[in-house]
Amino acid sequence: MSKIKYIKLLIPLIFMVFLQTCSQHRKLVDLQMKKQPVVELKHVKLRGKLRVITDFNSTNYFIYKGRTMGYQYDMLKALAKHLKVKLELSVNHDLESSFKALENGEVDLLGMNLAATQERLNKFNFTVPHSQSRQVIVQRLESLDSSIYLRDKIDLVGRTVCVARGSSFEQRLLNISKEIGAQINVKSLDHVEEEELIAQVADGKIDYTIADENVALVNQNYYPNLDIKTQISFTQNLAWALRKGTTNLTRDINMWLIDFQKSKEYRRIYRKYFKSKRIEERLQSEYFTLKSGKISEYDDLLKEKAQIIGWDWRLLSALVYQESHFNPKARSWVGAFGLMQLMPETAYRYDVDTLSSPIENVDAGVKYLKFLEGKLDETLGDKTDKLKFLLAAYNVGLGHILDARRLAEKNGQNPDKWNGSVDYYLLNKSKPEFFNDPVVKYGYCRGNEPYQYVRKILDRYQHYQNIVLLNQISS
């Protein structure tokens, strides 16, 4: 049987078992609900954000052609939408410090593939499973006919297997060692991720690691020299973790998760990351950032031009993605064009047009940002929120931003503060009672566009920071 047919047969089988388990969990949670009513989740909702630690890999959280994607990412976004809060996502590949951050209340949730072991259940709350998988040995195919090829867990005796410290893989190997009464050399590593070890096996740097089968199956598309057929566990539930004592938050997430897994949206997410024909295309792409380190073909250009305004190149990349999705031929309905979507009057000022090169377009856009920054420096007393003002001005024009500042000041708000002050008046500048105010000089504005523009760029910039190293050298 070919590898592709094997994957197509296996994944639906796992999915069917998973749905049956979800139904059983729903009944259990319903019983819990009758015993104790849900209390409003004020501690998260008043804060306005759900703080989550995750890890990035080829299925859970990654960047492809500048776009943030992933099974865990899409699920967590849907959860935040359900809670009506912002998703604040950070990355940590060290499980011990991640659990410590959760225990200390620094984050609300560990949103990754976590096996609910008894030791963890004693210390933390776990949600109902978001997926299921088995643990498998990851080894190279070149070992097939050699004495070091492993086909059963008993073959692990005397072998050195590299896993992340504190992971369920580490615990499973220790348990197997006790079960068979023989020594397995478990090499526990700090600050390392499951896929990083899979890559090291494929490259011949280490001989063996352990991985969740669903993650290993996706990586086998990228590393065809891997064998992942040797299972060392039964099917395990993978879940998210919360602090002990967060009963209401855990229950609310469980109720949502059980219902969500029955929805069309969940089936779409599952197909996209585990059953799509485009998985291999994505993994092999030059702009699958996790493997290549590249966001777009314009990385070098943006690194160079970002220096003109003293920006992190990843921030400039986030802006260009928002403007054009890195398409130099992009045109908007109002006439903006190129990577930086310059309006004709702005382009004329910097001597560029639709025939200009991407280099000239970005150069002009950055010079315009520099110009706007100078104007804001003359205006803002407190420059803490200058970046937000600058991004909004680039999107909608400086005049509308100055109008919003005047409205804020007139109404007793801080004109140098963005959140809850100037952004509010800009957002409402499409209403007559706002744009007809005597202090307004530039009239009507579709304020929702710059408001969302600022939010989306800063969110994407955070994702780029999570996954792309500042000084990463593209391969």
- Any idea which residues carry the catalytic annotation? 323
- 128 vs 103: CA distance, rounded Å: 19
Strand partners, 162: 187, 209
Six-digit token string for 288: 């699958």
Strand partners, 86: 49
CB 93 within 8 A of CB 470: no
CB 120 within 8 A of CB 110: no
Six-digit token string for 164: 């992340």
- 463 vs 49: CA distance, rounded Å: 16
- 319 vs 229: CA distance, rounded Å: 44
Smallest CA-to-CA distance from 272 within 26, 41, 3, 74 is with 74
257 phi and psi, to 5 degrees? -60, -40
∠ at Cα 112 (6, 118), nearest 5°? Answer: 95
Residue with tokens 């049987």: 1
CB within 8 Å of 288: residues ≥ 6 apart? 58, 62, 63, 64, 282
Q: CB under 8 Å, gap of 24 or more: what pairs does 466-469 form?
A: 466/56, 466/61, 466/89, 466/90, 466/91, 467/56, 467/61, 467/62, 467/63, 467/91, 467/289, 467/290, 468/63, 468/289, 468/293, 468/295, 468/314, 469/293
407, containing H or E segment: helix 398-410
CB 308 within 8 A of CB 49: no
Six-digit token string for 367: 């010079």
Smallest CA-to-CA distance from 87 within 460, 417, 467 is with 460
Q: How many CB atoms lie within 10 A of CB 10?
A: 14
DSSP string, 5-33: HHHHHHHHHHHHHHHHHHHHHHHHHHHHH
- 338 vs 316: CA distance, rounded Å: 14
Write b or e for each residue in 166-177: b if 16 or more Cβ atoms lie within 10 A of its Cβ, otherwise e. Answer: bbbbbbbbeebb
∠ at Cα 462 (250, 88), nearest 5°? Answer: 15
